[in-house]
Structure 1
Amino acid sequence: MFARPLVLALLLVFMNLNDGHSQSLIGAASAALNPPATPLITVDPYTSIWSFGDQLNDQPTRHWTGRPHALNGLLRVDGTVFRFMGNPTFVGDTVMRAAQPRQVGASYTPYEAKFRTDSPGSDQWMQPRFDDSQWATGQAPFGSRPGDKTAWTTNDIWVRREVVLDRVPQGRLLVNAIYNDNYELFINGQRVAGASGVSPNYELTSTGRQATDLLKPGRNVIAFHSQNFGGQQFVDLGLLQERSMDLRAATQTGKQLSATRSQYTFEAGGVGLTVTFMAPLLMDNLDVLSRPVQYITYTTQSLDGQEHQVEIYQDASSDIAVDNPGQPVTWRRGRVAGKQPLNWLRVGTAEQKILGKKGDNVRIDWGHLYIAAPGQTGTSHRIGTMAGSVNQFEREGLVSDIRAGGRPNMITDSTVVLATSFNLGRVADKPVERHLLVGYDDLKAIEYVGQPLNAWWRRYDRQNSTIGSELVMEKALSAAESDYVTLKKTCTAFDRSLYTDALKAGGTTYADLCVLAYRQAIAAHKLVAGPPMAGPNGQPLFFSKENFSNGSIGTVDVTYPSAPLFLKYNPTLLKGMLEPIFHYSESGRWTKPFAAHDVGTYPIANGQTYGEDMPVEECGNMLILTAALAHVEGNANYARQHWSALTTWVTYLKQHGFDPTNQLCTDDFAGHIARNANLSVKAIMGIASYGYLAGKLGDATTETEYLRLARYLAKQWMTLAKDPTGTHYTLTFDNPGTWSQKYNLIWDKLLKLNIFPEEVAQQEVAFYLTKQQPFGLPLDSRRTYTKSDWIVWTATLANKQEDFESLIKPILRFATESPDRVPLNDWHETTNGHKVGFQARSVVGGYFIKMLEK
């Protein structure tokens, strides 16, 4: 959002630049692939910018949480300006107020609404004509926290609120909400928005819908349903108007996605423009993978046979470097000399409280955003209003030089924009190319056991001063510029290789799913250099963040589903995910006889913060994944290093794993369950994995003992879990008529352990094919929602390719048709394609499991 925006503009005039041709992504992705949101800049959980929806110029670009992280692009053709990226917006009038305090420290300003905490008993509860006369009346906010006006202590709450409007605003609607854990919003009976995770502070989220499409003069009914899966309950929301600047849009003519690139094409004023976002997340080069610099490339050419005068304007908002709009920021500019000189601008918060906050729905507010481009002397900077800069670009195709009145640093309480303009001159049939570097220096990335750690690319950095840190980032920018041409070729080759391999493994639908998952899965992690105890410069530690599922860091049952991607492309990264859990136990800080759930709340990894253990789940996960590492590496050297911990955990599984007590598993949103048949499979496979590892280490006696035990337990399992119909195996032991996806069986197939007879998995697959819904296979018989990562695992159990494809096709349909156009979520409703929860999580790395089979 732009509230009284100021602009820090960089005019880059480029001379003697080589023409270049944009790379087509054909052959690296299906042309029909239409992601719910498109990754643009994907470095880590903090530097993560997406285009929500289908059009790059339809709305502001956003952080994966939905907060605007604006990248705005304008194309000037023969003096006429067209918007091709983003849509600068600002907050307009309140349409329906929330109970939000009017100022910090003030009390809530409640409003009345009808509510109930038991089921309405009708799927029409959100409709304007629904009879809510028997519902209770209460004041917002609803919740269990001190200060909440109406008590809500159950899992669910349904709220209906009437609002009378004299007139309907003309802009789009913004939702202003707090919630734990999610909400679903309806306006006059239409589902308008949904959010998941926890937001203790009021957050603005765009609905993408015009107010005039949803509201009317007179009576309106705003209804919402909120759920709570743990912690304190609370929910409240209001509506505001979102206004945008009146900038003409270029016509988007195409969009393509490959593993490392997103590409858009536009037409405007007789000129074609191709914009390519390249994220060189290449797992065979950890320095490049970790380097927090990515690229935007612009290629223009005439489409009508005429020459056109063309200029490009690109800006990046300081909102990318703050958690909440309005935080004071400082700016600075500089230049990197050398054979390939760069002009750069940076912006960051004035406070710079490094590693000063943790949580889920939060964004980084330390370190600095950098924008850089190849340049020469004469680069100029200015500060002014965004409108003034855009207006000047409309008039002149550039941003003025105000060096005479500028200062090297400036503190402001308004939004700052780093802007770059390119004068491409007269453009004809021959394509003309320019590019920009977008980077973020977080200074310190993770706190681990009380010690701040550097990102992997900074592992040799011992600088603590501001100037010293700036020099380190300048080197990174310079290296990224030097690598640009080579990385374009490398990314092209990798994208084609990944797509070809996935196509051979599972077909076109499967290849598209792998393309969708690749950048998201990697960028939900942070690669850091471990402390000195792990080696001279530290070993690589790869910390995941639970995006919109509670914000935990290094969660074992998030590592488990995401592991196939890293087993496929670089097992070192999987070791970097497992190592903190091993060290947590081996250091004596975690003293329980089973594996921990996590090591903290991102980015603070000082010890488990999740409120409840998952004993069987996490022990099984750690044992299975360690065996999977041995399988792909051909040795058990890594297991040897951690044999004591593995022995402790397998001992727990021998005693408690086969018939689990009432406890959580990785599908904790579904609640506690005892005698969980799928969790029992995991325990059995964990025991088998220990035997497999012992064999790899040359201990034939232990290998025989544990594999024999696992096969014995598998036979017992078949008896207890068999449904009386003989068609499938049940959700829980001795519970006829129930069923669940037995996705944990996949490791018997991949590790070739032969613990369960093959017909168990094939019988399950045949049964699952009878339970499909339009948007996928439900997780189990309790509800119709599902987890898409588990569906791919379940589908990989199939021996017939047609069965595999039948099970995964609804996942791609969900991604393409879901009304929730946000970064891919892995928990959705199979009947209507709506998002249930989670967003932008690493677990979609699990889609790559079919490639492990081949």
Structure 2
Amino acid sequence: MSLCLRFLLSAPFLLSAVNAWTSTPFNPPSIPLAVRTPYVSAWLPQGSGTALNGAWPQFWDGATLGWAGFVNVDGVSYNFLGTPDVPGATFSLATQQSFEFTSTQSIFVLSAGPIDITVNFLSPVEATDLVKQSTPFAYMAISAESTDGNAHTVQIYSDISAEWVSGDDSLTVNWTTTTGDIFTHQVQLEDQTLFGEVDDHTQYGSAFYSSPNTVSATYQTGQDIVVRAQFIEHGVLANTEDTNFRAVSDDWPVFAISHDLGSVTTATEPVIYTVGHIRDPAFRIRTQDRSLYFWSEYSSPAELVSYHVCYTPIPFTNLNPQISAFIGDYSAALTRADALDAQIESDANLINSEYAGLVAISLRQALGASEITISKDSTGGWNTSDILMFLKEISSDGNVNTVDVIMPAWPAFLYTNPVFGKYLLEGLFRYQATGLYPNKWSVHDLGASYPLALGHNDGLDEAMPVEECGNMLIMSLSYAQKTGDFSQITQYTALLDQWTQYLINDSLIPNDQISTDDFAGALANQTNLAIKGIVGIKAMSVIWGILGNTAQESNYSSIAASYVPQFEGFATSTTGPHLTLDYGDENSWGLSYNLFGDKLLGLNLFPQSVYDEQTAWYPTVDAAFGVPLDTRQPYSLICTHSTLDWQIWTSTLMTNNATRDMFINAVYKFASNGTSNAPFGDWYDTVAGLDEGFRARPVVGGHRT
């Protein structure tokens, strides 16, 4: 028995912590609060369990995002959000009673003396409405209810800090407050850097914090301890603005809104807050600047011209209709969210409840790494027929539309709206169709630094020849099969065929190269890469069939079919039987997750015996938190690491439910074991149940297989 296997079988199982509140369906590593884009991404870190008022919300990278909340009950103040320190002011902590998450919502119930408040963080997933889906805002809705049957006076308060606009707290910000039907605080850097980032935070545009301007609403801007003390002591804000613009960390300016709910017995209508960040232009692909799609409904390009030229803050008057509409849509948005949540839960429960929980915690993270953009037409108007979607490879690097990150996230896009997949691939196709990319294989990504998609005209992007060619072919056919829309495969047939030719030459016996698991290093004769390449060749055969070229369809089908028995001869261990990690290494093995492409496309290319052998093999190398990725050891002294997406993909290939559920249960145990406080890291240790540094990556979209 190998060292790896001995260690796996003897590893202890870690138990998750027990919280003082109920968590449904489980307590995740980090709770999504406002997750809409790579720059609107606020989370509550958990570890073994953290209440809503037990930590500051964080940006996905772990940096603090000031977001505070208080409720006054009969003149007594309770903190319910964040961990503010207000010297000289007296307040208690509300007690968290429960937490529940769905695919779109994170719902907390906290007790503040005789009042329970329900705080619902809704990050809508509006897959069939591009305007709504591209709107970079999220909701926080708060309602109150008496728990003792008596009436109590209740006031609600919340603020955000200037930490929402930069990754550098030493930089100077300015702000404005607009009153009218809604209160809106707008805050931005004084000196902005177009398309710039600091520690993955955008360095231009504006953050907005808004709430309806009811007769009971008040607002205030100023130093954090001053503004918060005003509410704690008086239950109302001063309707004043601090105009001493300064650095984010200089007396920590905050932007607050409060509401007096009056006398409360039964549950109140929710008080709505919205938070978000808008920048324009949002993106540059080569030499073209693009805007978020939502502008097409609420503003004309002419109204944005000063911002495009000078990069001064977007005038609030341009955003007032959009913010008002977003706030006014809350009730309908919640209804749509409830329906989507119920549908996802119902579908996922066809597997089991643990799988349903994993899918629910993954959706906001998967879609929250993307943005939908449009360009202008020749007249300067919005060209709503020119839609491109961009995805940030979060945490592992800042690449744009990384092909092997889109691929594992692909199932979430197919499930919510397959056209998202088309929009993600379109930019990659367009760039390579220019001929500017010099390599014969598919490009790895559109650019090294989000939100700039400048391409790789030097051909020096991270080379994953078989990986990315296979991915592009599989995703292209998958979209066409799902939708019946053949426009993309028709327009880019030459590129798809070019990549197929590469696979014919280099997928049966792959040369020394890296795969998507690049942290493991390069390796020749990778079994899993060969699978992807052969599936890619067969996919092109099907594409040719769709396009009516029966000669090419037959040709590529014959090639793929002839490669399969050769592959089995190269890749099947004589000591297993099971597939090896690389040809000739009889004691090696790995997750053969690329067989998922065969199942996704309905190709039936690989024989049932391959699936049966892998199903029988994996339980023999299972660890406490899943099956390791493979037997390579460059990233660990012992082969214990794996990835969540490939665990779930592999589960779909198993020929019995027991082994399928073994994989799902392992991922569920990792997600709920209380050892991490980062937004769902996908690279982890299958023995200790610890994440390995990746966080918030969209690849968790692969959980919706």
Tell me the residue number matched to 2:367.
Answer: 522
Q: Secondary structure at the match of 1:45?
A: coil
Counterparts of 2:218 and 2:694, CA distance in 1: 43
Are positions 1:33 and 2:26 aligned together?
A: yes
Within 5 Å, which residues of 2 pair with 1:299-314? 299-314=143-158
Q: Do the aligned residues in 2 keep the contact of 1:677 with 1:732 (CA within 8 Å)?
A: yes
Q: Do the aligned residues in 1 keep the contact of 2:78 with 2:93 (CA within 8 Å)?
A: yes
Tell me the residue number matched to 2:338.
Answer: 492
Tell me the residue number matched to 1:26.
Answer: none
Specify which of 56, 62, 83 is matched with residue 79 of structure 2: 83
Tell me the residue number matched to 2:300.
Answer: 461
Tell me the residue number matched to 2:476.
Answer: 626
Tell me the residue number matched to 2:322.
Answer: 476
Tell me the residue number matched to 1:356.
Answer: 196
Tell me the residue number matched to 1:547.
Answer: 394
Q: Secondary structure at the match of 2:186?
A: strand
How far did residue 834 of structure 1 move? 0.7
Q: Secondary structure at the match of 2:524?
A: coil
Q: How many residues align?
A: 659
Tell me the residue number matched to 1:399.
Answer: 237
Moved more, 765-774 or 680-689: 765-774
Q: Secondary structure at the match of 2:704?
A: helix
Tell me the residue number matched to 2:95.
Answer: 251
Which amino acid in structure 2 is aligned with residue 778 of structure 1?
Answer: P
Change (3 A) 1:322 1:30: closer
Counterparts of 1:386 and 1:753, CA distance in 2: 60
Change (3 A) 1:348 1:48: same
How far did residue 525 of structure 1 move? 1.2
How far did residue 371 of structure 1 move? 1.1
Change (3 A) 1:375 1:803: same
Counterparts of 2:382 and 2:74, CA distance in 1: 59
Tell me the residue number matched to 2:664.
Answer: 808
How far did residue 509 of structure 1 move? 1.1
Change (3 A) 1:377 1:298: closer
Tell me the residue number matched to 2:571.
Answer: 721
Q: Secondary structure at the match of 1:769?
A: helix
Within 5 Å, which residues of 2 pair with 1:295-444? 295-336=139-180, 341-357=181-197, 361-376=199-214, 381-402=219-240, 410-412=245-247, 414=250, 415-444=252-281
How big is each residue's C-alpha offset from its partner over 1:226-274, in whole Å with a ceiling of 9 and x where there is no partner?
xxxxxxxxxxxxxxxxx99985311100000001111000012111010
TM-score by length of 1: 0.74
Within 5 Å, which residues of 2 pair with 1:49-88? 49-53=42-46, 54-88=50-84
Counterparts of 2:482 and 2:147, CA distance in 1: 50
Q: Do the aligned residues in 2 keep the contact of 1:37 with 1:821 (CA within 8 Å)?
A: yes
Which amino acid in structure 2 is aligned with residue 461 of structure 1?
Answer: S
Counterparts of 1:511 and 1:796, CA distance in 2: 15
Change (3 A) 1:383 1:345: closer
Counterparts of 1:470 and 1:448, CA distance in 2: 27
Q: Secondary structure at the match of 1:333?
A: strand
How far did residue 464 of structure 1 move? 2.0
Change (3 A) 1:304 1:289: same
Q: Do the aligned residues in 1 keep the contact of 2:172 with 2:245 (CA within 8 Å)?
A: no
Which amino acid in structure 2 is aligned with residue 750 of structure 1?
Answer: L
Specify which of 402, 424, 431 is matched with residue 577 of structure 1: 424
Which amino acid in structure 2 is aligned with residue 727 of structure 1?
Answer: P
Counterparts of 1:704 and 1:795, CA distance in 2: 32
Tell me the residue number matched to 1:820.
Answer: 676
Counterparts of 2:70 and 2:314, CA distance in 1: 35
Within 5 Å, which residues of 2 pair with 1:129-148? none
Q: Do the aligned residues in 2 keep the contact of 1:380 with 1:402 (CA within 8 Å)?
A: no
How far did residue 530 of structure 1 move? 4.5
Tell me the residue number matched to 2:511.
Answer: 661
How big is each residue's C-alpha offset from its partner over 1:332-355, in whole Å with a ceiling of 9 and x where there is no partner?
11135xxxx212111110012221
Are positions 1:588 and 2:426 aligned together?
A: no
How far did residue 784 of structure 1 move? 0.8
Moved more, 375-384 or 650-659: 375-384
Moved more, 262-271 or 454-463: 454-463
Q: Secondary structure at the match of 2:626?
A: coil
How big is each residue's C-alpha offset from its partner over 1:215-235, in whole Å with a ceiling of 9 and x where there is no partner?
xxxxxxxxxxxxxxxxxxxxx
Specify which of 696, 700, 705 is matched with residue 840 of structure 1: 696
Change (3 A) 1:799 1:539: farther
Counterparts of 2:151 and 2:157, CA distance in 1: 20
How far did residue 767 of structure 1 move? 0.5
Tell me the residue number matched to 2:635.
Answer: none
Q: Do the aligned residues in 1 keep the contact of 2:218 with 2:236 (CA within 8 Å)?
A: no
Are positions 1:684 and 2:531 aligned together?
A: no
Q: Secondary structure at the match of 2:569?
A: helix
Counterparts of 1:540 and 1:770, CA distance in 2: 48
Q: Do the aligned residues in 2 keep the contact of 1:663 with 1:673 (CA within 8 Å)?
A: yes
Q: Secondary structure at the match of 2:228?
A: helix
RMSD value, Cα? 2.3
Q: Do the aligned residues in 2 keep the contact of 1:443 with 1:469 (CA within 8 Å)?
A: no
What are structure 1's unaligned runs of at least 5 residues? Answer: 1-28, 91-242, 850-854
Q: Secondary structure at the match of 1:419?
A: strand
How far did residue 78 of structure 1 move? 1.4
Q: Do the aligned residues in 1 keep the contact of 2:85 with 2:225 (CA within 8 Å)?
A: no
Within 5 Å, which residues of 2 pair with 1:215-226? none
How far did residue 622 of structure 1 move? 0.3
What are structure 2's unaligned runs of at least 5 residues? Answer: 1-21, 308-312, 633-638
Q: Do the aligned residues in 1 keep the contact of 2:107 with 2:121 (CA within 8 Å)?
A: yes
Counterparts of 2:272 and 2:575, CA distance in 1: 63
TM-score by length of 2: 0.90
How far did residue 74 of structure 1 move? 0.8
Change (3 A) 1:319 1:754: same
Moved more, 550-559 or 692-701: 692-701
Counterparts of 1:465 and 1:569, CA distance in 2: 36
Q: Do the aligned residues in 2 keep the contact of 1:255 with 1:264 (CA within 8 Å)?
A: yes
Which amino acid in structure 1 is aligned with residue 200 of structure 2?
Answer: V
Q: Secondary structure at the match of 1:845?
A: helix
Which amino acid in structure 2 is aligned with residue 75 of structure 1?
Answer: V
Identical residues among aligned pairs (%)? 31
Q: Do the aligned residues in 2 keep the contact of 1:548 with 1:839 (CA within 8 Å)?
A: yes
Within 5 Å, which residues of 2 pair with 1:497-516? 497-504=343-350, 506-516=351-361
Specify which of 108, 114, 123 is matched with residue 279 of structure 1: 123
Counterparts of 2:512 and 2:382, CA distance in 1: 41
Q: Do the aligned residues in 1 keep the contact of 2:28 with 2:674 (CA within 8 Å)?
A: no
Tell me the residue number matched to 2:8.
Answer: none
Higher percent of residues as strand: 1
Counterparts of 1:499 and 1:739, CA distance in 2: 34
Q: Do the aligned residues in 2 keep the contact of 1:540 with 1:573 (CA within 8 Å)?
A: no
Which amino acid in structure 2 is aligned with residue 44 of structure 1?
Answer: T
Change (3 A) 1:693 1:249: same
How far did residue 818 of structure 1 move? 4.1
Counterparts of 2:89 and 2:454, CA distance in 1: 45
Change (3 A) 1:313 1:278: same
How big is each residue's C-alpha offset from its partner over 1:469-516, in whole Å with a ceiling of 9 and x where there is no partner?
433321210111231221111111111011101112x21111111101
Specify which of 107, 111, 117 is matched with residue 267 of structure 1: 111
Q: Do the aligned residues in 2 keep the contact of 1:635 with 1:696 (CA within 8 Å)?
A: no
Counterparts of 2:202 and 2:140, CA distance in 1: 22
Tell me the residue number matched to 1:564.
Answer: 411
Higher percent of residues as helix: 2
